[in-house]
Structure 1
Amino acid sequence: MDSDNRNRGRPKKFQESETPITIQAVDRAIDVLEALSKGGALTLSELAKRMDQSPATLYRVLSTFQARGMVENEPLTQEWSVGASAFRIGASFLRRSNVTARALPAMRHLMEATGETSNLGIEKSGMVIFISQVETHESIRAFFPPGTQAPMHSSGIGKALLSTFSDARLHKFLQDGPFEKFTPQTIVTQDGLLSEMQAIRAKGFAFDNEEKSNGMRCIAAPILNFQGQAVAGISISGPSHRVTPDNVAQFGALVKAAAEDVSRSLGAEL
């Protein structure tokens, strides 16, 4: 990186350091938002207990965020939750790429054709982050709100994206194990995951056979950009009594076709 580009991202007199430079108060404030995003609505005492922090300190952070619309407080229950301003700021992450908008028609079609919830996810720091969803109308359904994260090795989208990794990148990923075994079906060995990648590449779609959650299955395929790079994954998820071994091939073909349609819209040559 040249000096001109480097200076645009940090002060001119900034010296490179191995140790990240952080501001403790900002770190604590972000911890509060993350705790609320994971825990939903929490009272001050619940939040303080979960974070092992002083209620007085957390209240100052929450009050500051509330003034900016980053958090909200329900007067009747005195519960705190993430506010609309935090959502608007987080949504800017999705606007960096048009894959979300490009994928939406395909996701709606998938939901209608299969009767199951359709999802869109990307890889970030070795995890899958779900960024969009079209829910089925069925009462029993999968639900991955935007921002939900899942391990690569145990999710349909994660495995679909892993199948596009170069041999060197895949080897590094496997070396970073061990991998958590969520259910008896979770594939956690290097040989098992390598074999799974070969199967996914041959079929063109990945199958999560209750590997993250008992009773839930997922079928996914990678979305490519004009450079042939995987930028996202598209999937359907549903309960095992509806996503059965008998319809995996049929649903897999639909998911693969949807991924190819979105890839072409992004300029990929297939």
Structure 2
Amino acid sequence: MAKYPESEPRRQRGRPRAFNEKTEQNTIKSLDRALCVLSELAQIEGATLSELAQAMSESPATLYRVLTTFALHGIVEADEAAQTWHIGPEAYQIGSVFLRRTSLIDVSRPILRALMEQTGETANLGIEKNGAVLFVSQVETQAPIRAFFAPGTLSAMHASGIGKALLAHMDEPQINSFAAKGLEHFTEYTKSTLPDLTADLAAIKSRGYSLDDQERNLGMRCIAAPIRNAYGEVIAGLSVSGPTTRVTVEQVETLSTAVMRAANDVSRALGAK
């Protein structure tokens, strides 16, 4: 057992014995409700009070108190002219702490930049978050027409290059559970049935990269590859995305080689073999 000198008292862990218990007695209902409001506002950015109240089936008066409390701390802000509420700058500051502590972000940044410069298209980094793709970093091309997924943006897994690269490395029960929640149909190219999706995922796993061929937005293509950690686990995806006029069918093979190489570079930097 470690011993501490008298001049250096044992550091308190700062958490109660019931830290790992997620029972109702260990939660603050009002805080839980307030965070749900914040999460909902992030999903429908630019909502009026009545729109938010309708979406959450809550009293406008209750929501107003929550929002004004958040506004005092800069976590949300109000556009008085439009009478809408938005996520505030302090929410970004708090969230950026997560990015700073995640070595994935730091390691991938120069590789994303090099990929963008090599391909001329926007390079993206994303992870899975509650059944969706969360974009956590991006290096944007300077081309006039380009894809844009701001860090913090969520996208449907089955209609995303990165999302499908991640899904392809999940086991069958995980894929079936994901599909059971519904596969939203975005365009005529969306893989919105389980047989279509599973066939696509098998091809992705075999060749090493995924292709979002106008499956989320018409006129846009995205090529992605998985990133592994030191344990060989797929933890993220890396992609390039751009308009079909530049990311042509003929260029997919060349671009996919560059994307897979970049994903492998990030994986090796994280300790993967």
Normalised by the length of structure 2, the TM-score is: 0.83
Match of 1:33 among 35, 38, 42: 38
Q: Does the 8 Å contact 2:227/2:266 carry over to 1?
A: yes
SS at 1:72's partner residue? strand
- The yes-or-no answer on 1:258 pairing with 2:262 is yes
Matched residue, 1:152? 157
Matched residue, 1:188? 192
Matched residue, 1:129? 134
Report the count of equivalent residues: 259
Match of 2:173 among 171, 174, 190: 171
1:10 Cα offset (Å): 6.9
Change (3 A) 1:17 1:237: closer
Separation of aligned partners in 2, 1:175 and 1:107: 32
Match of 1:70 among 47, 70, 75: 75
Change (3 A) 1:139 1:49: farther
Change (3 A) 1:175 1:86: closer
1:125 Cα offset (Å): 2.8
SS at 2:179's partner residue? coil
Q: Does the 8 Å contact 1:162/1:170 carry over to 2?
A: no
Match of 1:115 among 115, 120, 123: 120
Normalised by the length of structure 1, the TM-score is: 0.84
1:143 Cα offset (Å): 1.5
Matched residue, 1:243? 247
Matched residue, 1:4? none
1:203 Cα offset (Å): 2.1
Structure 2 residues without counterparts, runs of 5 or longer: 1-12
Separation of aligned partners in 2, 1:43 and 1:120: 32
SS at 2:39's partner residue? helix
Separation of aligned partners in 1, 2:99 and 2:133: 14
1:18 Cα offset (Å): 7.6
- The yes-or-no answer on 1:211 pairing with 2:211 is no
Separation of aligned partners in 2, 1:215 and 1:264: 33
Q: How does 1:7-26 map to 2 (within 5 A)?
A: 11-12=16-17, 22-26=27-31
Deviations, residues 24-80 of structure 1 (Å, cap 9, x unaligned): 322331233223323333444554455444333222212211222212234555543
Change (3 A) 1:16 1:224: closer
Change (3 A) 1:26 1:241: same
SS at 1:109's partner residue? helix
SS at 1:247's partner residue? helix
Change (3 A) 1:15 1:49: closer
1:128 is matched by which residue type in structure 2?
A: V
* 111-120 vs 175-184, greater mean Cα deviation: 175-184
Q: Does the 8 Å contact 1:133/1:145 carry over to 2?
A: yes
Separation of aligned partners in 2, 1:42 and 1:16: 35
2:179 is matched by which residue type in structure 1?
A: G
Matched residue, 2:94? 89
Separation of aligned partners in 2, 1:188 and 1:20: 41
* 177-186 vs 209-218, greater mean Cα deviation: 177-186
Deviations, residues 130-164 of structure 1 (Å, cap 9, x unaligned): 11111121232212112222222221111111222
Separation of aligned partners in 1, 2:188 and 2:249: 17
Separation of aligned partners in 2, 1:13 and 1:262: 38
Q: Does the 8 Å contact 2:131/2:178 carry over to 1?
A: no
Separation of aligned partners in 1, 2:47 and 2:54: 10
Identity %: 49
Separation of aligned partners in 1, 2:27 and 2:122: 40
Indicate the RMSD between aligned Cα atoms, in angstroms: 2.7
